[in-house]
């Protein structure tokens, strides 16, 4: 798959990384992604967790 049609699909790895990052942001992040921006406050405010909160519960990932 990585070399489908004989030439390497150079965009495949970055694309997969982006997909994983998106899944992490929506379902699992608890402040780590915003820490570079917000510093200490990222863990306390936990914006992504709070914004995606209902989705995390309804999509079935473990929560509080």
Partner 1 sequence: MLGTYLGRGVAAGLLAGLAAGVFAYFFGEPHVDRALALESGNAFNQVVDRPTQRLGLVVAVALYGASVGAVFGLTFASLRERMAAPDDWSRSLRLSAALFAGLFFLPFLKYPADPPGTGDPSDIGFRTVVYLVTVAVCAGAVFVAWNVARTLREGGTGTPARQALVGAGLVAVLAAFFFAMPPATSPAGFPGDVLWDFRMSAVGTQAVLWAGIGAVFGALCERTNRKGTA
Three-state DSSP at 26 gives helix
Per DSSP, helices labelled H in the chain are 12-23, 35-38, 41-45, 47-51, 53-59
Cβ atoms of 2 and 8 within 8 Å: the answer is yes
Interface residue with partner 1 among 6, 36, 39, 60 (CB under 8 A) is: 60
Minimum distance from CB of 58 to partner 1 (Å)?
Answer: 5
Instruction: Please give the residues from 2 up to 41 whose contact with partner 1 meets the rule CB under 8 A.
Output: 4-5, 9, 11-12, 15-16, 19, 22-23, 25-28
Which residues of this chain interact with partner 1, rule CB under 8 A?
1, 4-5, 9, 11-12, 15-16, 19, 22-23, 25-28, 44-47, 50-64
């Amino acid at each position: 798959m990585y070399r489908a049609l004989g030439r390497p699909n150079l965009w495949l790895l970055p694309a997969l990384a982006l997909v994983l990052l998106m899944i992490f942001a929506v379902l699992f992040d608890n402040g780590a992604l915003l820490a570079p921006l917000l510093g200490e406050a990222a863990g306390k405010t936990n914006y992504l967790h709070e914004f995606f909160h209902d989705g995390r519960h309804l999509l079935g990932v473990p929560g509080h």
